[in-house]
Amino acid sequence: MMMATALFSQSPFVKVKDGKFWRNNTPYYYVGTNFWYGAILGSEGQGGDRKRLCAELDALKKAGIDNLRILVGSDGERGVTTKVEPTLQVAPGVYNDTILAGLDFLLMEMGKRNMLAVLYLNNSWEWSGGYGFYLEHAGMGKAPRPNEAGYTAYMDFVSKYATCEKAHKLFYDYVRFILSRTNRYTGRRYVDDPAIMSWQIGNEPRAFSKEALPAFKKWLSEASALIRAIDKNHLISIGSEGAWGCEGDYGFYEEICKDRNISYCNIHLWPYNWSWARPDHLIEDLPKACDNTREYIDKHLAICQRLDKPLVMEEFGYPRDGFSFSTESTTQGRDGYYKYVFSLVADNAERGGLFAGCNFWGWGGFAKPKHEQWQVGDDYTGDPAQEAQGLNSVFSTDISTLAIIAGQVERMRQASNRVK
């Protein structure tokens, strides 16, 4: 036991012990953000801007935001209006090396700043390929585009993913390729890089039907087992929204989080997307959004308590006032929501609880959006290509929101120091 404790304390990687994250032998409670486009900014090809990337990392580090949730890369054909580009995986096993170089550069720069990356490998939604890409190449037909056919048609199509073993095999090949890489700039293998906190199976993976839940659980278990077989050092997470991504089944969510290879639990919270707040009544609907948020969090914390695993709210957002996309618009509603959510996280952390961290969606930083619909050549923001640019982004000019984030950073820092 003494040997295991010594090895644990000497590890450069984030670990889970007694339901808490530990980093450098200290409890790790944090404020993070979503920075999905980090690897693209790190490239020297289309979309790359290493000067901006370093400036964004410096700004985030200065603000005390040291945990970034990042897309490894998007998949599939280019030129799709609502999809991130340039893509990393053009076809199964065919990779865009400029994005791989961008990911290497990003991890190197994050390591220099003692920051941590949560890297997600798949996506149930169309904006980075994911499910639809793998199903297409498994011979299941063309994935409908939600902006053309609607989300019902899209979700009906991707509901095939949970049971499509050929699609799973293509994804597993991708996992093996990414996790087996060595960073060209540092010479360090990904599996040995302390800048990586966690591998995440996907962004909001879903079964998309109750009938597919058993197969979905099997796929998640296989994916996490594969990741653990390759990488013994890093944490593994699902990327789940919580019960909302499990057909509303809290018991099923507990089952998938119980898997021995899953290190901690995730939830997402989207009051507007989930009809808790109307676009023309964002401030008036804030009390309802907060009440529903607390109930949702409490139910998932109870599950984490039974599993003795930390909980991270790795996505949450609220639109700008008046549902405006302008960087000059006010953020009274969003600021109110952020204050409330942050208070729930920090109150729990200060008691030494399992609510370990939160990543707001998303970091827009120094971006200057040119169009409501993203176009090639526009700055990347916290809003991917399928969303209006500026909808949920936090920009460097959002002074009131940044002040609220700064207060939360300090509370979480104090919680880390208090809980030993």
Q: Does the residue 10 lie in any domain?
A: no
Q: Residue 262: which CATH number?
A: 3.20.20.80
Which domain does 294 fall in, by range?
Answer: 28-418
CA–CA distance, 195 with 204 (Å, rounded to integer): 23
Q: Judge whether 7 lies within some domain.
A: no
pTM of the model: 0.96
Residue 39 covered by a domain: yes
CB 56 within 8 A of CB 68: no
Please indicate, yes or no, if residue 187 is contained in any of the structural domains. yes
Element (H, E) at 307: helix 286-307
Within a domain: residue 169? yes
pLDDT digits (tens, 9 = 90+) for 371-419: 999 999 999 999 999 999 999 999 999 999 999 999 999 999 999 988 7
What pLDDT sits at residue 9? Answer: 62
Spell out, as residue ranges, where the chain has pLDDT lower than 70.
1-9, 420
pLDDT given at position 1 = 41
CA distance 215 to 213: 5
Tokens for 230? 């390759």
Domain count, the chain: 1
pLDDT for res 418 = 83
Q: What stretches of 145-200 adopt beta strand conformation (E)?
A: 196-200
Distance CA 390, CA 32 (A): 19
| DSSP letter for each residue of 317-359 | --PPGGG---TTS--HHHHHHHHHHHHHHHHHHHTT-SEEEEE
Q: Is the residue at 83 inside a domain?
A: yes
pLDDT digits (tens, 9 = 90+) for 24-62: 999 999 999 999 999 999 999 999 999 999 999 999 999
Residue 216 lies in a domain: yes
Residue 192 resides in a domain: yes
Residues 6+ apart with CB under 8 A from 173: 92, 93
Dihedral of the alpha carbons of 168, 174, 175, 176, in degrees to the nearest 10:
110
pLDDT at position 4: 44
pLDDT of amino acid 3: 42
Ordered DSSP codes for 116-155: EEEEE--BSSGGG-HHHHHHHHTTS-PPPPHHHH-HHHHH
Compute the distance between CA of residue 361 and CA of residue 213 in angstroms, rounded to an integer.
27
pLDDT the model gives residue 8: 57
Q: How far apart are CA 331 and CA 283, in angstroms?
A: 10
